[in-house]
Chain A
Amino acid sequence: MSLERIFSSLNISATGLSAQRQRMDMIAQNIANAETTRTKQGGPYRRQIVVTSEAPATEFPKYVENKIHLQQTARDHFKDDPVRGQIPVPSGTGVVEIAQDPSPPRLVYDPTHPDANAQGYVAMPNISPISEMVDMISATRAYEANITALNASKDMTKKALEI
């Protein structure tokens, strides 16, 4: 067994930790920009969301394919081995893109604001502090769960080295 394989389960948890941290960064950015009405792209700031996906397997997955298939015509015939297809490999997660929330900006009546339109309404970012807080708690808890998995694999590696 190479060292790479010993640490592969630590790497899986590391991908989870990094994804949750990026989520946390985006939430902080959204809260910081909750009142930003001017951006480089023009218009108010738009809520950013981190989109994660299952990481592609780094190890080469095994393929199981029976070349010949056995047909059962009587009860005491042999059974064909039913395992077929690709064996999945645990690989972790990854951030695939940072997407924009497509919901419309929040309109606030404030005629004294320099960015107010003719009717006196200002287009504010589509950010709700409450949903950001909920996302933040979810990211924190998911981060902790990944830490627990990381500690488990650390302890197991230590135990294996004591054999």
Chain B
Amino acid sequence: MLNKFLFEQTKLPLLHKGLDTYALRQKASAHNIANVNTHGFQRMEVKFEDELRKALNIDRGMTGKMTSPGHFKIGAATLEQVEPQPYMPKDEDLHSGVNNVDIDEEMVRLAKAQLSFDFASRMTNRTFSALRSSIRGEVSS
């Protein structure tokens, strides 16, 4: 009950998904970097934003309610149902012929994941401190 009145009114559910996604992206980048010399390796990426955009879109059209795990997903998923999903993009090997890991791109992805995680964790901290202030009835300075 507290969850519904307190936490779900804020951006916390969204930030939670964000932290999960960025942590998984960092893992995928670490995996790709660890395999940079492995012949025939296929790099891994994580998709999340497209599904999230659909979930956050207010005009979702008709959606089905799932009350059992065997139910069909009809229409766009709700925020709780959106999960970061690792997949292997089917792109060609680089001209080195070893695999399709571009080390420069991978380092950029790593930095992006790290900064995004930093952002989401800071936002989470601020949300919690704002909640704390409002519970105590403090006027934020």
Please list the residues of chain A having a beta carbon within 8 angstroms of any beta carbon in chain B. Answer: 8-9, 12-13, 15-16, 19-20, 23, 51-54, 67-68, 70, 78, 81, 83, 87-93, 138-139, 142, 145-146, 148-150, 152-153, 155-156, 159-160, 162-163
Contact = CB atoms under 8 A, between A and B. Distances in A.
A15 B26 CA distance: 15
A159 B31 contact: no
5 contacts: A9-B27, A19-B37, A78-B74, A159-B118, A163-B124
Given A16-B35, A68-B72, A78-B74, A54 B86 contact: no
A90 B28 contact: yes
A156 B114 contact: yes
Contacts of B121: 159-160, 162-163
Interface string B20-36: 00111011111101111
Contact of B23 (A19, A150, A156, A163): A156
B17 to A, nearest CB: 14
For B24, B35, B87, B114, the residue with the greatest tally of chain A CB atoms inside 10 Å of its CB is B35
A162 B113 contact: no
Nearest to A23: B37
Contacts of B117: 156, 159-160
A155 B114 CA distance: 8
B33 A13 contact: yes
B37 A90 contact: no
Contacts of B29: 149, 152
Contact of A12 (B34, B41, B70): B34
Given A9-B27, A92-B31, A148-B110, 14 more contacts: A9-B26, A13-B33, A16-B34, A67-B70, A78-B74, A90-B31, A92-B35, A93-B34, A139-B37, A145-B36, A149-B110, A150-B30, A153-B30, A156-B26
A54 B27 contact: no
Given A13-B30, A90-B44, A156-B114, A52 B35 contact: yes
Nearest to B41: A54
Contacts of A138: 37
B4 to A, nearest CB: 21
A163 B19 CA distance: 11
